Amino acid sequence: MSQAWIDIRDLRLERGGRLVLQGVNASLAGRAVGLVGANGAGKSTLIGALLGVLKPSSGSIRVLDLEIPLRAMDLRARAGVMAEQAGVFPGGSGVDAVVFAGMLSGLSRRESLRRSHRALDALDMGEERYRPAHGYSTGMKQRTKLAMSLVHDPEILILDEPTVGLDPIGRTQLLRLIRDLRDQGRRILLSTHVLQDAETVCDEMLLLQGGVVAFSGAVGGLTGAEDGRMLATGSGFDAAFASKLGELGFGEISGSGERIVFRSRADGDLMPFWRLAAESGVEVRFLGRDHPTLEEAVIAVMEGGQGGK
């Protein structure tokens, strides 16, 4: 199992005299972690605490094995942050904005310019980088903000609602870019209220509800995809077929007639199912995992259908 790069213990944090985070505990090791929850759940407050911008009332935080807020400056040098509300550098071009961000991180102007073009190339900005940023579409502004967070070649990316305001094509393109960054080895914390975005990019999830953790762990553990439940539909799934399936090592079998639900074998091999179906004259129209969508699973947790981890 990978080592956790975010470790939070009994974190409590007040803002404006109100306790926003009420004992948050999480140990997260995924390549990309989705931070999800309703408005007011504490997502932005938690990001502020992770970066050392907001000081906890009690508890402990370690990010990249750095104690926060004690070593917040060390963390910020190794992190790229794309804030939801922040804009691009006013009055200049896209490349000006990225160069400015690089210089703020401590790079010389020459090195910042070199890295800015590299980041903008990776995000497919083309000649648009030379246009005034105030005339950019929302999608171009989001790409520029992402380039600003990448210019100093950070180990981790903290992205707060990166697809907000994008049309479907722009959203798909940006998520693909973020997924590519994840696959290149960067750790990503993606804060979003769009569960499909989290499902597309993330392998772990931290779900906040009212300032506490409703779920923390692998996405498959939230949806039930890891429990091996399979659904087959078609015809001929009678009691005799179910009995033979059980003898082959498939567990907890239920259903009859046109559908059957079972658990895959310990070795995950489904070929015995297909052989039995052929021998029994069963018609299989569909075979796939039997688990809820991420949105359905999150709603179930928030409505009290499942205890948090």
The half-sphere exposure of 6 on its side-chain side, counting CA atoms within 13 A, is: 31
Two tokens at 220? 């498959």
Q: Which run of H or E residues covers position 182?
A: helix 168-183
* Block residue for tokens 């359905």: 296
Report whether pLDDT(63) > 50: yes
Instruction: Locate 170 and state its tokens.
Output: 């722009």
- Calpha distance 301→304 (Å, rounded): 5
Sign of CA dihedral 134, 137, 140, 145: positive
SS3 of residue 92 by DSSP:
coil
Question: pLDDT tens across 219-261, in order?
Answer: 877 876 666 788 899 999 999 999 999 999 998 788 878 999 8
Per-residue pLDDT, averaged over 35-56, amounts to 93
pLDDT digit string, tens, across residues 189-219 = 999 988 889 989 999 999 999 999 999 998 8
- Of 163, 222, 159, residue with least CA distance to 188: 159
Higher-pLDDT residue of 292, 122: 122
Residue 48: exposure state from Cβ atoms within 10 A (0-12, 13-18, ≥19): middle
Sorted by where each starts, the structural domains of the chain and their CATH numbers stand as 6-220 (3.40.50.300), 225-289 (3.30.70.2470)
Residue 258: count other Cβ atoms within 10 Å of its Cβ. 13
Give the mean pLDDT of 138-166: 91
The predicted structure's pLDDT at residue 225: 63
Rounded to the nearest 10 degrees, the angle between the axes of helix 138-150 and helix 109-122 is 130
**Range in 31-35, 89-93, 189-193, 224-228 the model is least confident about:** 224-228
Average pLDDT for 16-27: 94
pLDDT for 309 beyond 60: no
Residue among 34, 27, 25 at smallest CA distance from 2: 27
Q: How many CA atoms lie within 13 A of 276 on its CB side?
A: 19
pTM of the predicted model as reported, rounded to 2 decimal places: 0.77
CA 113, distance to chain mean position in Å, is: 30
Indicate if the pLDDT at residue 169 is higher than 50: yes
Q: How confident is the model at residue 155 (pLDDT cuts 50, 70, 90)?
A: very high
Specify the pLDDT at position 191: 95
Strand 6-15 and strand 58-63: pairing? antiparallel
Per cent of the chain over pLDDT 90 is: 62
